[in-house]
Amino acid sequence: MIEIDAETDDELPILPRELTNVPDEVCRVGPPQIPVIEEPYGARLVDPDVHAELISEWMNMPHLVESWESAWPPERWRLYLKAQLAGTFSRPYLTSRKGEDIGYIELYRAAKDSIATRYDAHPHDLGIHAAIADTKLVNRGIAPRMLPKLMRDLFDLEPECRRIMFDPDHRNTGARRLVEYVGCTFLGEHQMSNRKMALYVFPRTPEDIPAHR
């Protein structure tokens, strides 16, 4: 999900998927807003100095190591989270159920992301990367219930958002089944610089399904 290839924190571009050369109309769009999500679920903005250790612990759990490839130490997560909050490309959130933290999501501006080179992106498009950390809830139907609530809230918060994008690794059958179950449209498999992704879109209306390249 997050691709960082460099050997040390000092050398790496902390947000390697963010496009640096985008049109002004894309550049002017602000960061994703904080989703509310219908109860019993919730989301709140990550505090890097408070939550980096927790997120690092989660991402080193066996069921997330392979899918996220981000089994980093807390300090590296702290720098990465701060980099997100410093710009307008993406925002990190903790998700909760009945008041207890259960996972991590990143919302990002898809037109500022490398996936924008693979479909006809609109400046206000959003993308989602999500992880359920609580192993008691994995494969228990939480994600299929929570994701539609999240997407409805994002469309309500952002009237100009036409689409919500998903880009799991093409081998991630669990994630692919999930987005297909909630009604996303498949836009093909695309070879990126270091992986092959399966691109999906959840449009606001059927007319908002984009062409892919």
- Return the structure tokens found at 183: 């009604």
Beta 100-109 vs 41-45: how paired, if at all? unpaired
Nearest-10 crossing angle of helices 48-59, 74-86:
120
- Taking the CA atoms of residue 10, residue 127, residue 168 and residue 64 in that order, the dihedral angle to the nearest 10 degrees is 60
Active site residues: 167
What is 71-136 written as a DSSP string? ---HHHHHHHHHHHHHSSSEEEEEEEETTEEEEEEEEEEGGGBGGGGGB---TT-EEEEEEE--TT
The label of the residue with tokens 């669990």 reads 174
C-alpha span between 41 and 102 (Å, rounded): 10
